[in-house]
Amino acid sequence: MELNSDKMTGLLCFPVKEAEKIIEAMKQAEAAADLKALQWCVRQFLWLTDNAADHSTGDDELYPAHIFNRDWDKQLKADPPPESVKGIIQDEPEGDDVV
């Protein structure tokens, strides 16, 4: 672990709802030995890392929801989830979440 002079480390922060869904899908895919679903989960987690993760140093840096929702929707359309985890990843739009 890399520490700064105050003995603190930076954290990589993800959009909570999407990261939790991917983690839940990973657990389900692992339990079912569903390699295709696990590979899909890894691709989505890497996409979140490249496109939506923030290196936190204690400051609140926010990703505008309307921009994230648009980009996440494009990603799911380009690489849809396998049927085995689709119910975890895709849910009904919620009010302000709709772009």
| pLDDT tens per residue across span 40-76 | 999 999 999 999 888 765 444 455 667 778 888 999 9
Question: Is residue 2, in this structure, part of any structural domain at all?
Answer: no
Residue 33: give the domain boundaries. Answer: 12-87
Question: Is residue 41, in this structure, part of any structural domain at all?
Answer: yes
| Domain total in the chain | 1
> So what's the pLDDT on residue 60?
44
Question: Is residue 96, in this structure, part of any structural domain at all?
Answer: no
Percent of the chain whose pLDDT exceeds 70 = 75
Q: How far apart are CA 38 and CA 77, in angstroms?
A: 18
- Return the closest-CA partner of residue 73 out of 38, 40, 99: 99
Q: What is the mean pLDDT of residues 27-45?
A: 96
> So what's the pLDDT on residue 91?
67
> So what's the pLDDT on residue 72?
87
> So what's the pLDDT on residue 59?
42
Question: Is residue 42, in this structure, part of any structural domain at all?
Answer: yes
Tokens read off for 53: 């993760």
Is this model's pTM higher than 0.95 or not?
A: no
Lowest mean pLDDT across 4-13, 14-23, 32-41, 47-56: 4-13
